[in-house]
Structure formats: C-alpha cells, structure tokens
Amino acid sequence: MENITLTAIEDINLTFQTDLYKYNEILNAGFILHGHICPAMPLGLRAALEALSRLGIPRARNKELHLIVENGPAHAALCFAEGVQLGTSATFGKDMVTRTNEGKSAFTLIDKKTGRSIRVSMNYDFFDNTMKSEFVNKRREGLEPHEIDQRLPKQMIQNMLDTPIDNLLKFDEIKILDFPKINYTFNYYQCTSCQEPVYEPGIRVLDGEYVCINCSK
C-alpha cells in the first residue's frame, strides 16, 4: 500500500498514510482532539489535505486561511468538519471557521491572501453507502461511537483510505472569493468592575468606565 506524503504537511513533519495501522501521526492527533474513532473525521482530514494540494498551498501557520463549513445543525457525521480543521489548521480557536448550518458535509477553503478558494462536497453514492453501513445503523440505534465494536469504524476508515478520492468527494473549480481583512488587536484593558483582562473589541464604556460586555449589562 502506498504512503502519501503531502507537501502541504511536510513543513511540520507530519505524514498522512493510507494504512490506518501504520504510524500515522496526523490521524492520531485527530483522534486525540476528536475523542473517538469514527470515519467522518478522517474523511474530513483527507478532504482538507486534497483541497490544500489542489490550491497548491501549505497548511495554515497562523490565520492565512478561512473555512466556510456547511455542516450542521443537528445531523450525523458533524465530525467531518473536525478533520477539515485538523488538515488545514484553519481552526475554530484561531477564528478561521464559519459554520453555515446548511446540513451538508461540505466546505470551502479560502486562501485569504489571494482569495483563491475551493469548495469540496460529498459524492452522493459514497455518502449513501456510508449512511447504510453497520456502524451508522448502530449510531442510529443510539450507541455512541466508542460503544461500537471498534473494528467497524477502523474497517470503514481503511476502506475510505483505499478508495480513489474522486469516488468519495467532489472538488469544484478554483474560484476567487473576496474575504474581508480583519486586523487582530493586541490592545487590552482591565475591566473596572470584574477586574478581568479584556481585549479592545470586548470593551464597553459605562458611566465613563471601561467595562467588559458582561459587566456592561
């Protein structure tokens, strides 16, 4: 089985391998972040790495990228978006993710510097087969991912890794999107009421005093 070393992640010495059972640092990091072993997170990871590769750009070091994630609300396999964050390093924590709640396992990855973007969505037949799998049936019955025989998700992940990516996902043409420039501030104050540190965008003026949003109510 061929190992895929993606140029996008060589920078930080991570390799994504197509054999689940070989040492696979980025996938393991994903399972640690994610909390359980499931097929949707690794699929998001693979989708993200391919999207980076098609855009010809590396994973984010800081805030160079933005993700528009169409997942949610309240459906199965929200885990997909977790793998997309892991693959791109465009994370919730760095304010690089917008969730549109359109009920699709799909996302657009934007290179903020150039505006070049690619949208990735799910191949319907692959999606349909996955949703009829034993693993998903057990989830439907109410079992949590970690309560299901772990051989099931692991086999699904390996099958997914063995499948050509175009049978799993649809990659749209690269488009230019205008992404608003945001200046992130280092300026902060101490709230005169609760004494907590608060960055400038969270400061309100109440009776001439600088207070946080919560203390301003």
- Per-residue x/- mask for Zn ion, residues 30 to 69, rule CB under 5 A? --------x--x----------------------------
158 belongs to the binding site for Zn ion (CB under 5 A): no
Between 57 and 84, whose beta carbon lies closer to Zn ion? 84
Choice from 193, 202, 204, 206 touching Zn ion (CB under 5 A): 193
- CA end-to-end distance (rounded Å), the chain: 60
Q: Quote the DSSP letter at residue 85.
A: H
Closest separation between CB of residue 213 and Zn ion, Å? 8
- Pick out residues in 97-116 that bind Zn ion (CB under 5 A): none
Closest separation between CB of residue 179 and Zn ion, Å? 29
- Other CB atoms within a 10 A radius of the CB of residue 198 amount to 19
Residue indicated by tokens 């009829």: 132
Closest separation between CB of residue 1 and Zn ion, Å? 24
65 in Cβ contact with 20 (< 8 Å): no
E strands, 107-191, are: 107-111, 116-122, 169-171, 175-176, 188-190
Choice from 79, 96, 152, 160 touching Zn ion (CB under 5 A): 79
In 3D space, the residue among 50, 162, 185, 48 whose CA is nearest the CA of residue 105 turns out to be 48
Closest separation between CB of residue 17 and Zn ion, Å? 20
148 belongs to the binding site for Zn ion (CB under 5 A): no
- What is the distance between the alpha carbons of residues 72 and 22, in angstroms, rounded to a whole number? 32
In 3D space, the residue among 58, 178, 71, 47 whose CA is nearest the CA of residue 117 turns out to be 178
Closest separation between CB of residue 36 and Zn ion, Å? 5
191 belongs to the binding site for Zn ion (CB under 5 A): yes
Between 39 and 58, whose beta carbon lies closer to Zn ion? 39
- What is the distance between the alpha carbons of residues 121 and 67, in angstroms, rounded to a whole number? 13
215 belongs to the binding site for Zn ion (CB under 5 A): yes
Residues binding Zn ion (CB under 5 A): 38, 41, 79, 191, 193-194, 212, 215
